[in-house]
């Protein structure tokens, strides 16, 4: 086996075809989309890519709007501006060498839903200079206008990002209608963005990602869920706090279900190249007197009131910043072909002897094509059994869906 074969395990075949560029008109509430293209000299030919995020803290459904949303999707070249240098009153202010033209954005992100999570996602993307253009859409015109003004007026302090947005028509439902919503929404996504990548964030994320994959008919590398991305980030933070080091210096993953049956990979946690299980054999075990196992329960036991997320909700009413930054990180990897390894929910059939279709989180190489490959983690016997148990739970739940 080659030295890097463990990173190439379970590759997903990527299909990339050139298309004539046309800015997609995105008409989904509580979904994020990214349009990416590399312009030729003529500005006509490129390879577009759309990525759709289903936002878990916004409501679960949408109707498609052909007017206000389309207007908010205009590029800078389509938007009317009043340029003072075209007024004779200010003719001495500038000495123009050429006609004043706004450049076309190479990347564009549309955040559908301007609630606490949507605003956090938009802010994270803008401050990290992930996209050249940003659109914010919501059914609440007053709220979305306020968010737009707030974001636009901080443009001096960030790299150039053209910000637009407006009102979109939205129908709101509760979670018991999720299956109906997906049946209505996913075909529209496929119709308007047949070459997009779909990223599901709404809970139960693993089951909904499976449902979206089935309904879309897309290849498995183009449908993924946020999965345990935020779980793993919280896990690293709490471990780092124990040792007094930065979370980025902790290499640790939560895999499996984004829920109670998730698996902490204690056997592979390392700090500075040192495997902590080799130094402390009881690391993460139930009989560990140092109680490191409590960290996993604090992160991932969603049935208990002591979890990190619940504490945040109890104190401030909602979670937003961590979700916003995790979505921005995933957006960055997809939009800029980073080949970053992130734990996301993907189809794991064929992994560890699993012979049925099920979506669970594993560390994956994320590129502009979606999930490029799954990292072959060398799990302990106990961890592998727990992962298979998690797969069985999700498979049983997914089997109850009507395709």
Catalytic residue annotation = 258
Whether omega before 204 lies within 30 degrees of 0, making that bond cis, reads: yes
The residues facing 134 across adjacent strands are 109, 163
How far is Cα 376 from Cα 341, in angstroms, rounded to an integer? 12
Q: What is the CB neighbour count within 10 angstroms for residue 327?
A: 27
Separate counts of helices (H) and strands (E) for the chain? 12, 17
Q: What is the DSSP letter of 202?
A: S
Look at the chain and count its residues: 403
Residue ranges of E strands in 113-161: 133-138
3-state secondary structure of 142: helix
Bridge partner list, 333: none
Backbone angles phi, psi at 270, to 5 degrees: -135, 150
How far is it, in rounded angstroms, from Cα 237 to Cα 195? 36
Nearest-angstrom CA–CA distance, 315 and 327: 23
Cα-Cα-Cα-Cα dihedral of 287, 375, 365, 186, to 10°?
-80
DSSP letter string over 262-309? -EE-GGG-EETTEEHHHH-TTTT-TT-TT-THHHHHHHH-TTSTTSHH
- CA 18 to each of CA 45, 132, 195, 238: distance values in angstroms, whole numbers, following the listed order: 8, 21, 11, 45
Residue 20, exposed/middle/buried by CB under 10 A (0-12, 13-18, 19+)?
exposed
Instruction: Give the whole-angstrom CA distance, residue 218 versus residue 200.
Output: 14
Q: Looking at residue 103, what DSSP letter applies? A: P
Whether residue 220 contacts residue 213, with contact meaning beta carbons closer than 8 Å, is answered with yes
């Amino acid at each position: 086996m080659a030295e890097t074969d463990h990173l190439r395990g379970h590759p997903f075949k990527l299909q990339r075809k050139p298309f004539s560029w046309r800015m997609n008109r995105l008409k989904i509430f509580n979904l994020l989309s990214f349009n990416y293209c590399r312009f030729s000299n003529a500005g006509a030919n490129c390879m577009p890519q759309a990525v759709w995020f289903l936002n878990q803290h916004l409501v679960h459904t949408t109707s498609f709007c052909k007017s206000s949303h389309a207007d908010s999707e205009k590029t800078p070249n389509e938007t009317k501006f009043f340029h003072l240098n075209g007024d004779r009153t200010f003719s001495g202010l500038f000495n123009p060498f050429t006609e004043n033209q706004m450049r076309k954005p190479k990347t564009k992100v549309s955040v559908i839903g301007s609630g606490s999570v949507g605003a956090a996602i938009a802010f994270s993307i803008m401050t990290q200079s992930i996209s050249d253009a940003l659109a914010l859409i919501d059914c609440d015109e007053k709220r979305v206008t306020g968010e737009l003004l707030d974001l636009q007026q901080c443009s001096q302090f960030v790299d150039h990002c053209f910000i637009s947005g407006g009102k979109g028509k939205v129908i709101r439902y509760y979670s018991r209608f999720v299956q109906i919503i997906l049946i209505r929404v996913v075909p529209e996504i496929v119709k308007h963005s047949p070459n997009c990548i779909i990223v599901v964030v709404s809970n139960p994320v693993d089951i909904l990602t499976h449902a979206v994959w089935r309904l879309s008919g897309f290849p498995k590398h183009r449908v993924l869920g946020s999965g345990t991305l935020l779980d793993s980030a919280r896990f690293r933070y709490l471990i780092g706090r124990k040792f007094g080091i930065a979370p980025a210096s902790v290499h640790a993953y939560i895999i499996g279900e984004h829920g109670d049956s998730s698996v902490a990979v204690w056997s592979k946690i390392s700090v500075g190249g040192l495997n902590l299980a080799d130094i402390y054999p009881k690391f993460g075990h139930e009989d560990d007197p140092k109680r490191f196992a409590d960290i996993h329960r604090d992160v991932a036991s969603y049935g208990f009131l002591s979890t990190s997320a619940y504490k945040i909700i109890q104190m401030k009413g909602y979670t937003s910043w961590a979700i916003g930054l995790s979505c921005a990180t995933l957006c960055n990897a997809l939009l800029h072909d980073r080949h970053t390894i992130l734990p996301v929910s993907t189809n794991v059939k064929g992994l560890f002897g699993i012979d049925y279709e099920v979506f669970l989180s594993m560390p994956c190489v994320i590129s502009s094509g979606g999930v490029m490959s799954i990292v072959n983690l060398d799990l302990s016997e106990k961890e592998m059994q727990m992962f298979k148990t998690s797969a069985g739970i999700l498979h049983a739940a997914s089997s109850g869906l009507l395709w």
